[in-house]
Amino acid sequence: MKRLSIAEALREAMREEMLRDERVFLIGEDIGIPQGFGGAFTVTLGLSDEFGHERVVDTPISEKAIVGAAVGAAMMGMRPIADVQYSDFLFCAADEIINQAAKMTYMSGGTVKVPMVLRAPVGATNRGAQHAQSPEGFFMHVPGWKVAVPATAYDAKGLLKTAVRDEGPVLIFEHKRLYGKGGRKEAGGLDLTSGIPDEDYCIPFGQAVVRREGADLTIVATLLMMHRSLAAADLLAQEGINIEVIDPRTLVPFDNETMLASVAKTGKLLIVEEDNLTGGWGAEVAARVADSGFDLLDAPIKRLASYDVPMPFAPVLENFVVPSVDRIIELARAMVKGKV
Ligand X SMILES: Cc1ncc(C[n+]2csc(CCOP(=O)(O)OP(=O)(O)O)c2C)c(N)n1
Residue ranges that bind a second copy, judged by CB under 8 A: 88-89, 91-92, 94-95, 97-99, 102-103, 106-107, 128-130, 137-138, 140-141, 143-144, 252, 275-276, 278-284, 286-287, 289-292, 294-295, 297, 299-303, 308-310, 312
Q: Give every CB contact of residue 267 below 8 A, 6+ residues apart in sequence.
A: 296, 297, 298, 299
Which of the following is catalytic: 53, 131, 175, 227? 131
CB of 170 to ligand X, least distance (A): 21
Letter for the amino acid at 217? L
Nearer to ligand X, 60 or 240 (CB): 60
Scan residues 229-268 and list those touching another protein (CB under 8 A): none
DSSP H or E segment with residue 244: strand 243-247
Letter for the amino acid at 130? Q
> Which of 16, 45, 65, 299 forms a contact with another protein (CB under 8 A)?
65
Burial label, 186 (beta-carbon count in 10 A; 0-12, 13-18, 19+)? middle
Tell me whether residue 53 is one of the annotated catalytic residues.
no
Scan residues 87-146 and list those touching another protein (CB under 8 A): 88-89, 92, 95-96, 99-100, 104-115, 125-131, 143-144, 146
Phi, psi of 256 (to 5 degrees): -65, -35
> Which of 85, 162, 258, 306 forms a contact with ligand X (CB under 6 A)?
85
CB 164 within 8 A of CB 79: yes
> Which of 205, 231, 247, 285 forms a contact with another protein (CB under 8 A)?
205
CB of 63 to ligand X, least distance (A): 6
Q: Mind giving me the DSSP string for 163-202?
A: HHHSSS-EEEEEEGGGSS-B--GGGTT-B--EEE-SS---
Scan residues 39-58 and list those touching another protein (CB under 8 A): 54-55, 57-58
Peptide bond into 34 cis (omega under 30): no
